[in-house]
């Protein structure tokens, strides 16, 4: 759930980047949820033209997603469809991290990649042709140089194809809703119900076969045309990619003037999350444990479908060792040392062991880091006595009687 402070901060970001008019439309969506164009006009008291232009800016910069809500009539009298707009709070709030994203790419890739990404962050969405034109006007670089930088960013998953413009979202039928409630009562499902924003984002996202696929027209065929089957594609599953290319070739979507690209915010957040986890481990364990932990993150990165994954996919000890020795600093680490590091990492349980397999417990690491951050704030703002009291309450995990707290604090001090 988005807090009032979060909404206020998001609106301030939009105001600073796009002005008061666009911010007013964005704030309306953040506070009231998904709305039709007419509902936004009524709520903001702006003209229809002003709202449309503001929505176009927000969509261009990946701050709003349009979707079609397909509602079937109660008596089977046909479906009612309406285009609605929803503010993407997570995308908006990450805009302040754009400089960090550029720094990350500058360390991992080259200058051309940084300039290409900077253009995407500034303009929100660009076609490949627009990227070529910007590069020529700025640095007089050729298409080959731009394309090479583009492929590097795509291989690293730092950029991706833009989502569908208006995905169709259907409400669950009464039978499906009733089945879900019965399953929840019986304890068969425990997962948290997805928010509408998550459902819209998932519905709009391209398939994995297309999301990071880039087709180039290279070799001429016998009939004089261009061979797109020799395309450069960067996702696993050659059969799926070939079929996707053929499908797009028929619709003309491979044209460099048509397909829109954007920065992949999820991948940048995943990198920052991994970096924070590694630093947290570094503060508690030796270099060997840090290398083993980093190898586990690298080995399971591609399997993370969501940014807020609670646990990585499990890995065997042999798989972890193979990943460790891929790095220069890990080549001197023995198999037994990897096993010992995993034992270290299991207390506190940063790594969980189950049936000879090991997985990273992201949830535990992040909770511990957040808890320590709060403790640090309490210590700086209210002093050591308040800090000790806060630790006592947080570690107890239950309510404590006020009269007993001084005695408990004295006992902890002796320990």
- Kindly report, residue by residue over 47-70, the tens digit of the pLDDT: 999 999 999 999 999 999 999 987
Q: Residue 30: its pLDDT value, please?
A: 93
Residue 275 has pLDDT above 50, yes or no: yes
Q: Has this prediction a pTM greater than 0.85?
A: no
Residue 236 has pLDDT above 50, yes or no: no
Q: Residue 216: its pLDDT value, please?
A: 61
Q: Are 22 and 14 in contact (CB under 8 A)?
A: yes
Give the number of other CB atoms < 10 A from CB of residue 223: 5
Rounded (10°) CA dihedral 205, 208, 212, 216: -110
d(CA 139, CA 149): 14
Q: Are 257 and 217 in contact (CB under 8 A)?
A: no
d(CA 280, CA 345): 11
Q: Which residue has the tokens 């972890």?
A: 320
Q: Please give the sequence-ordered ranges of beta strands (E in DSSP) within 7-112, or none if there are none.
A: 64-72, 79-87
Residue 356 has pLDDT above 90, yes or no: no
Q: Which residue has the higher pLDDT, 202 or 217?
A: 202
Residue 232 has pLDDT above 70, yes or no: no
Residue 183 has pLDDT above 90, yes or no: no
d(CA 44, CA 51): 9
What pLDDT digit, counting tens, does each position of 302-330 carry?
Answer: 777 777 778 888 888 889 888 888 888 88
What's the rounded mean pLDDT across residues 119-144? Answer: 80
Identify the burial level of 355 via C-beta atoms within 10 angstroms of its C-beta, where 0-12 means exposed, 13-18 middle and 19 or more buried: exposed
What pLDDT digit, counting tens, does each position of 24-48 carry?
Answer: 999 999 999 999 999 999 999 999 9
Q: Residue 249: its pLDDT value, please?
A: 47
Give the number of other CB atoms < 10 A from CB of residue 323: 21
Nearest partner of 92 among 171, 194, 8, judged by Cα: 8
Q: Residue 59: its pLDDT value, please?
A: 95
What's the rounded mean pLDDT across residues 254-265? Answer: 81
Give the number of other CB atoms < 10 A from CB of residue 93: 16
Residue 148 has pLDDT above 60, yes or no: yes
> Lowest-pLDDT range, 186-190, 222-226, 268-272, 320-324?
186-190
What pLDDT digit, counting tens, does each position of 207-216 carry?
Answer: 877 888 887 6
Query: pLDDT band at 191, cuts 50/70/90?
Result: very low
Q: Residue 140: its pLDDT value, please?
A: 53
Q: Residue 195: its pLDDT value, please?
A: 80
> Lowest-pLDDT range, 161-165, 307-311, 325-329, 401-405?
401-405
Residue 161 has pLDDT above 60, yes or no: yes
Nearest partner of 329 among 270, 282, 268, 269, judged by Cα: 282
Q: What are phi and psi of 239, to 5 degrees?
A: -65, -45
Residue 3 has pLDDT above 80, yes or no: yes
Per-chain mean pLDDT for the chain: 80
Q: Residue 76: its pLDDT value, please?
A: 53
Q: Which residue has the higher pLDDT, 77 or 369?
A: 369
What pLDDT digit, counting tens, does each position of 330-347 carry?
Answer: 888 888 998 898 888 887
Residue 87 has pLDDT above 80, yes or no: yes
């Amino acid at each position: 759930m988005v807090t009032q402070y979060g909404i206020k901060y998001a609106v301030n970001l939009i105001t600073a980047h796009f002005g008061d008019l666009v911010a007013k439309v964005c704030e309306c969506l953040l506070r009231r949820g998904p709305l039709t164009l007419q509902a936004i006009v009524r709520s903001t008291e702006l003209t229809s033209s002003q709202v449309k232009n503001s929505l176009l800016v927000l969509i261009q910069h990946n701050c709003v997603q349009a979707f079609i809500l397909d509602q079937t009539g109660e008596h089977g009298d046909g479906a009612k469809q309406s285009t609605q707009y929803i503010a993407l709070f997570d995308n908006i709030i990450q805009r302040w991290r754009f400089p960090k994203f550029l720094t990350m790419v500058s360390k991992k890739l080259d200058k051309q990649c940084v300039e290409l990404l900077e253009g995407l962050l500034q303009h929100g969405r660009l076609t490949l042709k627009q990227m070529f034109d910007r590069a020529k006007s700025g640095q007089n670089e050729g298409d080959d140089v731009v394309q090479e930088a583009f492929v590097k960013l795509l291989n690293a998953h730092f950029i991706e194809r833009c989502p569908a413009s208006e995905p169709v979202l259907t409400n669950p039928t009464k039978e499906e809703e009733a089945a879900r409630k019965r399953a929840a009562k019986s304890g068969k499902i425990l997962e948290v119900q997805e928010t509408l924003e998550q459902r819209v984002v998932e519905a709009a996202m391209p398939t994995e076969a297309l999301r990071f696929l880039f087709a180039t027209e290279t070799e001429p065929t016998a009939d004089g045309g261009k061979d797109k089957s020799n395309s450069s594609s960067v996702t696993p599953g050659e059969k799926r990619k070939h079929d996707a290319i053929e499908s797009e070739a028929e619709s003309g979507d491979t044209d460099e003037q048509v397909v829109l690209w954007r920065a992949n915010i999820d991948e940048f957040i995943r990198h920052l999350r991994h970096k924070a986890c590694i630093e947290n481990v570094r503060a508690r364990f030796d270099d060997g444990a840090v290398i083993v932990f980093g190898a586990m993150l690298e080995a399971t990165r591609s399997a993370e479908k969501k940014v807020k994954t609670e646990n990585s996919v499990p890995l065997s000890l042999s798989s972890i060792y193979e990943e460790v020795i891929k790095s220069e600093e890990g080549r001197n680490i023995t198999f037994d040392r990897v096993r010992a590091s995993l034992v270290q990492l299991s207390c506190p349980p940063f790594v969980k062991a189950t049936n000879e397999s090991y997985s990273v417990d992201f949830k535990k690491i992040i909770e511990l880091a957040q808890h320590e951050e709060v403790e640090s704030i309490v210590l700086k703002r209210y002093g050591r006595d308040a800090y000790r009291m806060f630790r006592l309450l947080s570690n107890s995990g239950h309510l404590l009687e006020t009269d007993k707290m001084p005695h408990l604090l004295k006992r902890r001090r002796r320990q």
